[in-house]
Amino acid sequence: MSAPILVVEDDPQLNQQVCALLENKGFSVTCVHDGEQGLTQALAYNYQLIILDIRLPLLEGYDVLCQLRKCKQTPVLILSASGAEQDRIKGLSMGADDYLPKPFNIEELVLRVEAILRRSQQSEQTLVNFFIESNGLSLDKQQFKATFNHKAIDMTAIQFKLLWHLVENAGQALSKPYLSQQVLERQFSRYDRSLDMHLSRLRKKLIAAGMGAESITTLHGRGYTFNA
């Protein structure tokens, strides 16, 4: 599906030119001509990028950006007839992702749009890699937080790492040597019972949180598995 883009530009000719070019490049484009319409559209729909002029009727672009940033982090590319450094700094400090002074090369605009979308997609993928959800269980790798049905589960960093690897590989048997290396960061020894101890305490916490006793299963001779 093509990326949805909102263009907020009051110059009819430039608005039409930008929108037509982006549509020809395969983007899904919505075009409006004043700040109030722009803010309404930006808040109502999930655009992947907003191209926002600063000098707009009814509501200035800076005000649109300020209101938008209170509740959304949609990437914003600012357009402005003023190339003054203070205007560029103001826009970027308010949360804009890029700034393009008028007049500009229309192909440069497309290149900047594509660059912003690439960065945005990479950021989204990074965030996806930090979160896991499975049947009411939510794991936040950035903050080492676990919740079940929106209730926090208190656990140590090692217990969290152990649970993360199990949930990330749900349904697969993870061997003790693998978990020892990934979680405890040391070679496995059959005389070392610390992994079993951490897993036993983790099981008890999951059960106390309301998860089934079979959430983590011991597969004798093979290791452990998480049952999603």
Summarize pLDDT for 179-226 with one digit per residue, the tens.
988 888 888 888 778 888 899 999 999 999 999 888 999 988 889 999
Q: pLDDT value at position 84?
A: 66
How far from 114 is each of 48, 83, 157, 178, 200, CA to CA, in Å? 11, 22, 39, 41, 49
Tokens of 205: 């916490």
Q: pLDDT value at position 124?
A: 57
Cβ partners under 8 Å of residue 93, min gap 6: none
The overall average pLDDT reported for the chain is 88
Q: What is the mean pLDDT of residues 111-130?
A: 74
Domains and their CATH numbers in the chain? 4-128 (3.40.50.2300), 131-226 (1.10.10.10)
DSSP code of residue 2? P
Give percent of the chain above pLDDT 70. 95
Q: pLDDT value at position 125?
A: 56
Q: pLDDT value at position 194?
A: 85
Altogether, the residues listed in the chain come to a count of 228
Q: pLDDT value at position 220?
A: 86
Q: pLDDT value at position 83?
A: 62
Tokens of 195: 């992994």
State whether residue 109 is helix, strand or coil. helix
Q: Is the pTM of this model over 0.75?
A: no
The per-residue pLDDT for range 79-93, each reduced to its tens digit, is: 987 666 777 788 888
